[in-house]
Amino acid sequence: MSPSNTHEKLDPLSLFRETIELLPEAAVIFDAEDRYLFWNAKYEEFYAESAHSPLVGQLFEDYLRQLLELKQVPAAVGRETDWLAERMARHRQPFSRYEHQIAGSRWIRVEERRLASGGTIGTRVDITELKQREFQLAYLAHHDAMTGLANRVLLQERLEGAIARSSPDAPAAVVGLDLDRFKHVNDHLGHHAGDELLRQVAVRLRGAVRSSDTVARVGGDEFVILIPDLPDPRFADDALGRIQDRVSEPYLVFGNPVAIGASAGLALIPQDGQSCDALLRHCDNAMYSAKVNGRGAQASRE
């Protein structure tokens, strides 16, 4: 067969479709009116978990509305109108690259380019594993690995936010907490028992505060609790007593009964300081006074 005869038998549209099917990415093509024109099998796989697959000739906006009605876009729940407008605005740009979630909590990276003809060609790449690694790294950067509590980095971020929002009429509080007799547990039961005790203390601290409060581990057996948006300054003293009582209840660590206490110090925002360092220093001083007065004591404002 001569080269000229071979060329004559080639169907450009079929060749284009076969090429799109061979791509490792999910690919989709829209016409100038944003109607679905063609997509490859990989694209079909990406959206197979959705209750509705797109139809040839269907408007892209109508397909998105179907997904919203069926709650197939978890990131959009509660802000459907904004999500739809945002997606369509990106879709109509000359070029866009963004990430979004689809059914099953999978993450997809979208790239779309508007063609000179007015149509749009787009690709989709599954980046779920990459996003999970990013979330894990972000979590580890802001949380204590042993207890799952906030670490110093996250505490400082939230403390700075509380300082910015607080006023004498809308105070916040910082509680510093240091465990009593923790060294005794490490020395007699071992560090693995000390670690387990810290995890149990963390659970109790979370249970003793509001969901809007931040509990952080800032040292070996040192904790800080941020209590924003106080309904009344006296609420902080009540919270402090409740926290100490909860932490001081008996524990069972690997079958061993354990009794500890907690010395605490309290600082109010903005009365006792308007910087992270000043507030934490005030808590430390108050906590030291509590220890001098006797383990398990508490001190608030000097």
Kindly state whether residue 138 falls inside one of the protein's structural domains. Answer: no
pTM: 0.73
Angle at 122 between CA 118 and CA 127, to 5 degrees: 160
If asked whether residues 153 and 128 sit together in one domain, one would say: no
Q: Which of 195, 221, 237, 272 is catalytic?
A: 221
* Helical packing angle, 182-189 and 191-208, nearest 10°: 140
Span 106-142, pLDDT tens digits: 899 999 999 988 899 999 999 999 999 999 999 999 9
Q: Which residue positions in the chain have pLDDT lower than 70?
A: 1-10, 13, 49-51, 74-78, 103-104, 294-302
If asked whether residues 122 and 147 sit together in one domain, one would say: no
If asked whether residues 127 and 153 sit together in one domain, one would say: no
Pairing of strands 251-253, 256-258: antiparallel
Predicted local distance difference test score (pLDDT) of residue 130: 95
If asked whether residues 125 and 158 sit together in one domain, one would say: no
Select from 132, 157, 186 the last residue of a domain.
Answer: 132
SS in 3 state form for 51-63? Answer: CCCCCCCCEHHHH
* Domain membership of residue 147 as a residue range: 143-299
Q: How many residues does the chain have?
A: 302
Which CATH number belongs to the domain containing residue 37 in this structure? 3.30.450.20
Residue of 56, 57, 78, 58 lying closest to 68 (CA atoms) = 78
221 is catalytic: yes
Work out how many domains the chain is built from and give that number.
2
Predicted local distance difference test score (pLDDT) of residue 77: 60
Q: How far apart (Å, rounded) are the C-alpha atoms in residues 47 and 104? A: 10
